[in-house]
Amino acid sequence: MQAVTIDDGTIRVADRPDPAPGPDELLVRVAGAGLNGADLLQRAGHYPAPAGIPDDQPGLEFAGTVTAVGDRVVDHAPGDRVMGIVGGAAQAELVTTPADLVLGVPDGWDLVHAGGAPEALITAHDALFTQGRLGPGDRLLVTGAAGGVGTAAIQLAVATGAEVVASARGEDRHDALRSLGAAEVVLPDDQAAAGPFDVVLELVGAPSVATLLRSLATGARIVVIGVGAGSRLELDLLALMGARATLRGSTLRARPLADRVTATRSAGHVLGTLAARDAYTVPVAAIHDLGDAATAYDDFDRGGHLGKVILAP
């Protein structure tokens, strides 16, 4: 099969042996595989793959068609349309995945576009509700809101009855964020003035967090899941104490399988409800052929787009 590989920091497409599913796994022919910030970190050598995953094969999410199932798999069969998250190697023609880590692709969804859904959906759902305890009536700030996780978070938060303030560079994308349900859309320089916030979903990193500590409601929760703009800051503990606020970080990739299964199923339940109402969409900025992976990475790294960049084998 053809697979995206990392060769000393350079993205290349190479031949790799076809994988075979283990007893509890599925073999999926990939239709679409989304790019994520973790892929850029892995390309730069800063985000090693978990044990058992090739260090030089990136890709954390996919959608496609099941082609084979392991001996102990009973809930899936060849031909099923599925999407899911893996520890790596999803940017390829074929991928194996634990059967418990996939969701069914909603009826009517395009399989290629669905390849940009699972990482954003599951990450945003876990960060908002499990980590951030977002509830109806809460005021949420989503920084870096134009990316995949940001657009997912807006829709999930609005569906639960929260008020969303979205922060994004590039005013040309602001109308699209409003169309997803954001009550207010601001430039990053103006986000602190838009407070107070009960929950902050931090997708930018340290410089953004530093500006928000005086814009927190009492008992606020800041959940950091992106550090593209930097990971180190000088923290004003008095501001954190005065708001009786909580600052926490979260990732999915390195968690135990049981934790990832729980996060996947929780997000899948919500997606099923929203998809049935046609109330959830996957904004797509660009689709590239697998063989054009190097260009896709450069496109993604430049930023400035709305939604996902997807590779289509």
**Residue 49: its pLDDT value, please?**
84
Can you tell me the mean pLDDT for 1-9? Answer: 96
Can you tell me the mean pLDDT for 196-216? Answer: 94
Four-point Cα dihedral 107, 111, 113, 115, nearest 10: 110
Total count of domains within the chain: 2
Per-residue pLDDT tens over the stretch 136-146: 999 999 999 99
| 34 domain-assigned | yes
Above 90 in pLDDT, residue 226? no
**Residue 104: its pLDDT value, please?**
97
Question: What does the alpha-carbon distance between residue 212 and residue 189 come to, in Å, rounded to a whole number?
Answer: 11
CB 163 within 8 A of CB 187: no
Residues 6+ apart with CB under 8 A from 50: 87, 88, 253, 254
| 158 domain-assigned | yes
| 128 domain-assigned | yes
**CATH code of the domain in which 93 resides:** 3.90.180.10
| 27 domain-assigned | yes
Residues 148 and 209 in one domain: yes
- Greater confidence (193 vs 52) lies with 193
Q: Containing domain of residue 149, as a range?
A: 120-249
| 170 domain-assigned | yes
